[in-house]
């Protein structure tokens, strides 16, 4: 049993609250399959325009207009499509890509074409943490919009009300301690008052360096980790005890 002290709990999604296979085998393929449709149907929207600026900045340009002006012989939609497919293929955790994926997933969730997976022990545990007065929040590389869609459309219904905050890579890399210090400031709690749960040792290292409590989640299908990673391990939320 792992004891969690303090008033805040910060959760990763993939491999912690939800299966890696759902994200990789359902959500990512859906975004790729629906990419052309989304770009075509929303090309003139302000939302997509803002996303294109983010994609351009991730590619090293000041704006989408600057990027596109350097490619006068390339159709602008094709420029975005090709870059998005390139970074998808490279599994790059780019902010623009995450925002675009979130927009595509929103359509899928709202049409009922997807329902997000959560482990059986997750809803009951988070409800109990809330009842005990814990401030539960999410920190994921997926965009905040995608996180809210995810927990608002799960296989057990809408769980969004269980979380008081959401963070993505716009606050900083999950492998840098400064990100966790900033999140703690938004919690309005000292870092030792917050426990961060994830399946990635490098993320947990950064959180621990910032002063947070940490624990490594070992769900079925999660990646193997070095035995000397230095964090207490658990395989389900029932193994966590609030003190």
Average pLDDT (185-205) is 98
The domain made up of 24-110 has a fold known as: 1.10.720
Q: Tens of pLDDT along 125-178?
A: 999 999 999 999 999 988 898 899 999 999 999 999 999 999 998 899 999 999
pLDDT tens string 87-124: 999 988 888 998 899 899 998 999 899 999 999 999 99
72 pLDDT band, cuts 50/70/90, is: confident
Write down the domain spans for the chain.
2-18+116-242, 24-110
pLDDT in the model for residue 74: 87
Q: What would the pLDDT profile of 37-64 be if each residue is shown by its tens digit?
A: 999 999 999 999 999 999 999 999 999 9
pLDDT at residue 211, as a whole number = 98
As a whole number of angstroms, the distance between CA 132 and CA 167 comes to: 23
Q: Which of 231, 226, 224, 241 is CA-nearest to residue 207?
A: 231
- Return mean pLDDT, the chain: 95
What pLDDT band is residue 242 in, cutting at 50, 70 and 90?
very high
Q: What's domain 2-18+116-242's architecture? A: 3-Layer(aba) Sandwich (3.40)
Q: For a pLDDT cut of 70, what percent of the chain falls above it? A: 100
200: pLDDT strictly greater than 90: yes
What is the SS3 string spanning 190-243? Answer: CHHHEEEEECCHHHHHHHHHHCCEEEEECCCCCCCCCCCCCCCEECCHHHEEEC
Tell me which residue has tokens 């675009």.
100
Q: How much is the pLDDT for 171?
A: 96
What pLDDT does residue 135 have?
98
* Site of tokens 């799960």: 154
The answer to whether 2-18+116-242 and 24-110 have equal CATH topology is no
- pLDDT grade for 12, boundaries at 50, 70 and 90: very high
C-beta separation of 199 from 12 below 8 A: yes
Token pair belonging to 97: 């890509």
Enter the pTM of the model. 0.84
């Amino acid at each position: 049993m792992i004891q969690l002290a303090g008033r805040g709990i910060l959760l990763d999604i993939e491999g912690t609250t939800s299966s890696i296979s759902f994200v990789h085998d359902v959500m990512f393929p859906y975004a790729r399959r629906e990419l052309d449709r989304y770009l075509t149907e929303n090309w003139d929207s302000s939302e997509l325009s803002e996303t294109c600026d983010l994609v351009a900045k991730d590619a090293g340009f000041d704006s989408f207009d600057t990027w596109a002006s350097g490619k006068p012989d390339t159709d602008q939609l094709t420029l975005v499509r090709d870059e998005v497919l390139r970074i998808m293929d490279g599994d790059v955790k780019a902010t623009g890509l995450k925002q675009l994926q979130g927009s595509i997933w929103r359509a899928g969730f709202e049409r009922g074409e997807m329902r997000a997976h959560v482990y059986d022990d997750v809803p009951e545990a988070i409800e109990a943490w809330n009842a005990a007065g814990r401030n539960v929040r999410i920190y994921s590389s997926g965009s905040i919009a995608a996180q809210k869609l995810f927990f608002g459309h799960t296989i057990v219904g809408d769980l969004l009300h269980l979380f008081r905050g959401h963070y993505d890579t716009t606050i900083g890399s999950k492998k840098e301690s400064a990100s966790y210090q900033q999140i703690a400031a938004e919690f309005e709690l000292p870092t030792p008052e917050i426990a961060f749960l994830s399946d990635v040792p490098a993320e947990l290292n950064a959180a621990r360096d910032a002063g947070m409590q940490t624990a490594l989640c070992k769900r079925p299908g999660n990646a193997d980790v070095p035995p000397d990673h230095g964090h207490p391990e658990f395989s389900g939320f029932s193994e966590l005890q609030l003190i």
